[in-house]
Amino acid sequence: MSIKHIARTSYRALWVNKSRSFLTVLGVLIGIASIIMMMSIGKGAENLILGEIGGLGAETVVVRPGQEPTGPTDVAETLLGDSLKDRDVDLLRKKSNVPDVIEVSPFVIVPGSVSYGGDTYRPMVIGGAADFFIDSFDAYPEEGVLFDESDTRQKANVAVIGSKVKEELFGDKSPIGESIRIKNQSFKVVGSLAPRGQVAFFDIDDLVIVPHTTAMTYILGIDYYHEIILTAKSADMVEYVIEDVTRTLREAHGITDPDKDDFFAVSQQGLADQIQIIIGSLTAFLSSVVAIALVVGGVGVMNIMLVSITERTREIGLRKAVGATKKNIMNQFLFEAVLLTSIGGVIGIILGGTLAFLISLVLAQTVAPAWTFTFPISAVFLGLGVTSLVGLVFGLYPAKKAAEKDPIEALRYE
Amino acid sequence: MSKLIKATNLKRVYGSGEVETVALKDASLEIEKGEFVSIMGPSGSGKSTLLHILGMLDRQTEGTYEFDGKTIDEYDETQLANLRNESLGFVFQTFNLLPRTTVLENVQLPLIYSDVKESEWSDMAVKAIKAVNLEHRLEHETGQLSGGERQRVAIARALVNDPDVIFADEPTGNLDTKAGIDLMSIITDLNKEGKTIVIVTHEEEIAAYSRRMIKLRDGLIEEDKKISK
């Protein structure tokens, strides 16, 4: 029996019961659509974050409090740690400790909103060195100046604002010399930046930079940093810088067991690897949860195949009488099950891809302008492979049952 | 004429122990090529069982069966399926056509399980359909046909592989008298052209078309006689 005739027979059998076939395969379809969607969005998130990290530059080393994250829950810890203090920054700045570094810049993140007159806006507020950020992000002041080290030393209430912040609070008016409020503190705007867009997690246009000393003392009331960014002399030296930083801080914090580190230093590459691991494991976890839907869908397929075989008992008897072997019958029903689930797989892949595309559009319009739609080709092969496998596995038992039917009993079946 | 079927001391027992039923006690018969044999008997006489064994859809519990000079008792299921495909044709009381499928495709069905090249299927099927006078119905679906026409499609299907013998199990059972007579005249013509026919029936009028009548009762052959015409 040629594949062509198996295919035609299967197609006809499925087409006769169009709605039943569709409902049967819905479980498989939804399962595959969800997996495809998850993989696509996971990949999109990964690309987005990797792109952002890439914006930091290959010479950058980031030091954060807490343990190096290996899973999603560890990330929260690094935001709450209080182990990086002034003394650490001073030690890292010493050439004798970390020789291959050009710049050491600590910063803190200030939650909350900014207001001017009656207007309130929620930009990203960070406490750090204005010139460091501006250099790192390749931005420049459009109006006014940047605050400098003496402002930082004096804990001056000065701020540099991004172009979007300026537009939201001041409109066409010049912001220079005006006072804005962050929490309960008043800050004088000394400079506003030209539009720059998103670089390395920071939407420069949506940024307000104040001296970290002022932020820590008057706004946050803390004596530790959220992050220290170091710039190595060259990308090749990043590894040495990480070694030196780790050694210096372990000494300073009196840590002998590396497992008890209360900080971690990573390069851009290290950060990228971490993110990939976290997103990859998240995607895999979610996909495996969704895979349960495939099993449920497969059981549905098996159920309907059994019904179909009972309905077609006489047909099976007749086919055997005119010369169909067990193998012929088995192949026919197995093919039918695989065809059914594969059709579900194809529709599922298209549906999942479409949904992921729409979600990408929404994300790009709202929270993540740099988001791009990614459709992993591997997901297509995986989807088709998995659906065919579901058809094979769950079609095997019904097909075997069909093949085992006794022709005489089958022909007599009412 | 040479022997096509040689069955010796066929016995068929269903079940075992308390529920054991003997459907066929001891039947021996020989059928030569070109014969037109009817098997008669009341229900429960074992006539269908005998037909199923001769048609290789069932196996005897005891006895031997030689078909065309070969003892097929040791054949496995696949070998039997192939032999049915090449050498036998079946006509059933309930037609057993594929629904929502054209006459042509129904008649081609045995060929898809055969070694015959696909390019020849259509010609072979059309030839068989012409033999039952249905060439004007080739592309009709079986649901559009009358009972008599459907049974003629079934005969065409049985003919398509040019079998050594056609087994018909109560072929007129679901037809009215007129359609039954038409069908029997087609079967008679096929026999005249040389086909071996074995037909199971409980109607004397139908058996009267044949040239040899075997009567079964309680699993035994009660009578085996030539019908003189």
Residues of A in contact with B159 (CB under 8 A): none
Residues of B in contact with A12 (CB under 8 A): 100-101
- Residue closest to A280 by CA, chosen among A118, A82, A89, A38: A38
- Residue closest to A301 by CA, chosen among A27, A30, A8, A9: A27
Same domain flag for A253 and A279: no
| Cα-trace Rg, chain A | 31
Classify domain B35-56+86-226 at the CATH class level. Answer: alpha beta
Q: Provide the β-strand partners of residue B102.
A: B141
End-to-end CA distance of chain B: 20
Give the one of A5, A16, A325 whose C-beta lies nearest to B81's C-beta: A325
Within A1-79, strands assigned E span 60-65
- Reading phi first (left if > 0) and then psi (alpha if -120 to 50, else beta), residue A267 is in beta
Please tell me the distance in Å from B83's CA to the nearest CA on chain A.
7
Q: Report CB contact under 8 Å: B81, A324.
A: yes
Say if A219 falls within a structural domain: yes
- Residue closest to A236 by CA, chosen among A199, A190, A269, A280: A269
Tell me the mean pLDDT in the region A239-244. Answer: 89
Q: Report CB contact under 8 Å: A322, B109.
A: yes
- Contact status of A404 with chain B (Cβ, < 8 Å): no
Residue predicted with more confidence, A371 or B117: B117
Residues of B in contact with A328 (CB under 8 A): 81, 113
Same domain flag for A240 and A331: no
Q: Strand, helix or coil at A105?
A: strand
Q: Give the per-residue pLDDT at B96.
A: 92
Same domain flag for A124 and A253: yes
Say if A269 falls within a structural domain: no
Q: Testing the interface with B: which of A16, A322, A405, A408 to mutate, by most B Cβ within 10 A? A: A322
Q: Which of A101-110, A295-304, B38-47 has the lowest mean pLDDT?
A: A101-110
The answer to whether the beta carbons of residues A385 and A342 sit under 8 Å apart is: no
Same domain flag for A40 and A149: no
- Contact status of A1 with chain B (Cβ, < 8 Å): yes
Same domain flag for A109 and A37: no
Residues of A in contact with B112 (CB under 8 A): 1-2, 5
Say if A147 falls within a structural domain: yes
The answer to whether the beta carbons of residues A82 and A224 sit under 8 Å apart is: yes
Q: Give the per-residue pLDDT at B137.
A: 93
Model's pTM, two decimal places? 0.73
Say if A73 falls within a structural domain: no
Share of chain A above pLDDT 90, in %: 25
Tell me, what amino acid is at A259? D
The answer to whether the beta carbons of residues A316 and A329 sit under 8 Å apart is: yes
Q: Mind listing the pLDDT tens digit for each residue in B171-204?
A: 999 999 999 999 999 999 999 999 999 999 989 9
Backbone angles phi, psi at A122, to 5 degrees: -115, 85
Residues of A in contact with B90 (CB under 8 A): 321-322
Same domain flag for A297 and A168: no
Encoding tokens for residue A62? 């980031």
Please tell me the distance in Å from B26's CA to the nearest CA on chain A.
21
Same domain flag for A216 and A96: yes
Same domain flag for A93 and A225: yes
Computed over every residue of chain B, the mean pLDDT equals 93
Same domain flag for A283 and A360: yes
Angle between helices A313-321 and A326-365 (to 10 degrees): 130
Distance of CA B163 to the CA centre of its chain: 10
Tell me the mean pLDDT in the region B108-127. Answer: 94
The answer to whether the beta carbons of residues A204 and A196 sit under 8 Å apart is: yes
Last residue of a domain, one of A203, A229, A261: A261
The answer to whether the beta carbons of residues A245 and A263 sit under 8 Å apart is: no
The answer to whether the beta carbons of residues B227 and B209 sit under 8 Å apart is: no
- What is the distance between the alpha carbons of residues A241 and A63, in angstroms, rounded to a whole number? 11
Same domain flag for A294 and A235: no
Q: Which residue has the tokens 């209080």?
A: A82
Boundaries of domain holding A95: 82-261
Q: Report CB contact under 8 Å: B113, A323.
A: yes
Residues of B in contact with A320 (CB under 8 A): 57, 81
Q: Strand, helix or coil at B225?
A: strand
Same domain flag for A287 and A236: no
- Alpha-carbon distances of B160 from B89, B111, B131, B147, rounded to whole Å: 8, 8, 10, 20
DSSP assignment, residue B208?
Answer: T
Tell me the mean pLDDT in the region B210-217. Answer: 95
- What is the distance between the alpha carbons of residues A51 and A371, in angstroms, rounded to a whole number? 10
Q: Give the per-residue pLDDT at A153.
A: 86
Please tell me the distance in Å from B226's CA to the nearest CA on chain A.
29
pLDDT > 70? residue A70: no
- Residue closest to A65 by CA, chosen among A244, A225, A220, A216: A225
Q: Which of A120-134, B105-119, B212-226 has the lowest mean pLDDT?
A: A120-134
Quote the number of domains for chain A. Answer: 2
pLDDT > 70? residue B49: yes
Computed over every residue of chain A, the mean pLDDT equals 86
Q: Are strands B196-200 and B36-40 parallel, antiparallel or unpaired?
A: parallel
Q: Report CB contact under 8 Å: B113, A12.
A: no
- What is the distance between the alpha carbons of residues B169 and A410, in angstroms, rounded to a whole number? 15
B145 falls in which pLDDT band (50, 70, 90)?
very high
- Reading phi first (left if > 0) and then psi (alpha if -120 to 50, else beta), residue A402 is in alpha
- Alpha-carbon distances of B127 from B61, B98, B124, rounded to whole Å: 39, 20, 5
Say if A333 falls within a structural domain: yes
Q: Give the per-residue pLDDT at A66.
A: 81
- What is the distance between the alpha carbons of residues B134 and B130, in angstroms, rounded to a whole number? 6
Q: Report CB contact under 8 Å: B78, A315.
A: no
Say if A235 falls within a structural domain: yes
Please tell me the distance in Å from A315's CA to the nearest CA on chain B.
7
- What is the distance between the alpha carbons of residues B17 and B20, in angstroms, rounded to a whole number? 5
- Contact status of A328 with chain B (Cβ, < 8 Å): yes
10 Å CB burial of residue A115 (0-12, 13-18, 19+) is: middle
10 Å CB burial of residue A19 (0-12, 13-18, 19+) is: exposed
Q: Which of A70-84, A200-214, A340-354 has the lowest mean pLDDT?
A: A70-84
- What is the distance between the alpha carbons of residues B58 and B55, in angstroms, rounded to a whole number? 8
Q: Give the per-residue pLDDT at B211.
A: 95
Tell me the mean pLDDT in the region A334-341. Answer: 94
Same domain flag for A408 and A307: yes
Q: Give the per-residue pLDDT at A77.
A: 58
Q: Give the per-residue pLDDT at B32.
A: 95
- What is the distance between the alpha carbons of residues B200 and B141, in angstroms, rounded to a whole number? 28
Tell me the mean pLDDT in the region A380-399. Answer: 92
- What is the distance between the alpha carbons of residues B223 and B207, in angstroms, rounded to a whole number? 13
